[in-house]
Structure 1
Amino acid sequence: MVRFDSPVPGTHDPYLAAADRYRGTDYRPVGRSGLLLPPISLGLWYNFGDDRPFATQREILRCALDHGISHFDLANNYGPPYGSAEENFGRMMIKDFGPYRHEMIISSKAGWDMWPGPYGQLGGRTYLLNSLDESLRRMNLDYVDIFYSHRFDPDTPLEETIGALDTAVRSGKARFVGISSYSAERTRQAKAIADDLGTPLVIHQPSYSMVNRWIERGLTDALDDLGMGAIAFTALAQGMLTDRFTSKGRANQHGSSRPSFSSDAARDPKIIARIDALAEIAHRRGQSLAQLALVWVLRRPTVTSTLVGASSVHQLKENLQALDNLDLSDEELAEIDKYAIDETGVDMWRGVSES
């Protein structure tokens, strides 16, 4: 295991985190646990693989910590290629972040496909624990703060999946554990098993946005009952809830700003009209549509944090400016509800939680 207090050959430009990095950030509790997260966390899903210059990644990651983003969210297959986001983050741990490890919350996951064969995906004990070992190796870490079951496995007993998470904690390789994209029913079942084992299952990571509101139909109630928190992903609907997707944004780009998911929703005039209306509400508040989308997701106390991706420091700072105005009036919420409607094809993860 790498010793972060040892000199690293070839390392230049030593990093000192900003002295005021925690000023002005209100950290929020994860349910009834003692875990605290910043309202905006950085996800390393797409922009931290080997297809992006490491120097750019390093600049974004430094900026994040300098602005109080102490939580960095990864998974075994983030890249591209699979594993490369963790490897690049591991380089950051060696070059810059080692002295600050005790201040950081670092998470990883396993559940989606990672390698060939019968033990390369889903929720079996062999896969989950092997994947965690590999993730720790890639990230140059002794433990992660949160380790997730990335999706429900209908072919593996839930007792086995949660038992593997329990082993991760008891072995010292994870401090807390979580689940992602589990239904309300499966969440209650998972929590009951975890409680019997004494496992700190404290967090759920669901997709959630103004065009994908599935968690409001039972999951948030379950999390509140169970004392669990949520950290939302795809709050911007993979680009749909940004100004570049409005009619004006499309015209300025001289082409489609279609999100990365495959959906006719990206070209539906009725949906674009609703996006335009939401953008107008945002602009009256002095915010971009993306900033409003983040504020809206964070309005619920159940949602401790929301993940953002960033391809540049500028984009990250724009997202952070959402925190300058987190208040939504009843009138604004009522108006948003007129246009914030679930759209078919937006949520690629819906249904993966069901047996």
Structure 2
Amino acid sequence: MRAYNFNAGPSALPLEVLQIAQQELVNFQGTGMSVMELSHRSKEYDAVHEKAKTLLKQLLNISDEYEVLFLQGGASLQFTMIPMNLLSKNTVANYVLTGSWSEKALAEAKKIGHVHVSASSKENQYKHIPSINDLEISDNAAYLHVTSNNTIYGTQWSEYPQLNNVELIADMSSDILSHEINVEQFSMIYAGAQKNLGPSGVTVVILKKELLTNSTNELPTMLNYRTHADKNSLYNTPPTFAIYTLSLVLEWLANSGGVKGIERVNNEKASLLYSCIDYSNGFYKPHAKMDSRSKMNVTFTLPSEELTKKFLVEAKEKGFIGLSGHRSVGGCRASIYNAVPLEACETLAYFMNAFYKRNQL
């Protein structure tokens, strides 16, 4: 029996994807080799690489105005590459602080050039997403950086600012492909794979081609977006197995009704858990404010540390994995990414309701 996997990342993968990968593990499509053994210059791997790019473009409706790159180093390396490639001496990088990952992105940009905090919810323990109307964009802004979903605090942007003459960049590591977005609204989107796209090891970057003119030859070769765009993400050996699994996840998503179809399921999963919280008479207390609640990471606390420990122990006995909250927030967290089945959330909701009835004060 498979566990009910609510880990925040690396996180659940679709069972169908794992089964295909298992079947093809030692003999990929009659090659007599695993995907992990194929040359990244071979026609067999090239088909895998192009399949992943094509499916991603189709699912997100990405136009030819954008490059799709498969990079390494996780989203954390993008915190550095973005200002290195896009921030000049005469411009300012703007950041909206909504949690730990946006703080880390800001800290890296400070090492490269001038920065400005356009808005922050830190003073409110990151319980909400700042209003678009409250954003203060600096003069000479190179870009505005946002983190679309905050895994630790359980908050998520429901709409994005419409900007004139300022590039909008989003770290979508934890909610990419979970709901429909207009890619044309962004100059760049990036996402580590290990939450909604596949296993850890590959990072997807969707970048407007016109921005590549900012990537100068003075940059280190591997930290230059143009290097990877010019070589179709094959300048050096890519994480081939991670990209292969990414292609399988994208195929699974396409066969599951695409982004629109998975969004309906995600809404249902989130509604199940938030209903448990809202109707528990304060027994389960959400961290995020109502209008900023994440549909990917449901965060909540219980009335006492003793009850929290009891909840987690009993949950583990029932097969629920990964429900501990982040150490900076405490409490509990259920990460319900695309691959977490509806059944897992239904079973968790039943457990939460039963636990509340048994332990309400």
Which bin holds the TM-score, normalised by the shorter protein? under 0.3
* Higher RCO structure (Cα 8 Å, ≥6 apart): 2
| TM-score, scaled to structure 2 | 0.27
TM-score by length of 1: 0.28
Query: For the pair shown, which has the larger CA radius of gyration, 1 or 2?
Result: 2
Is the strand fraction higher in 1 or 2?
A: 2
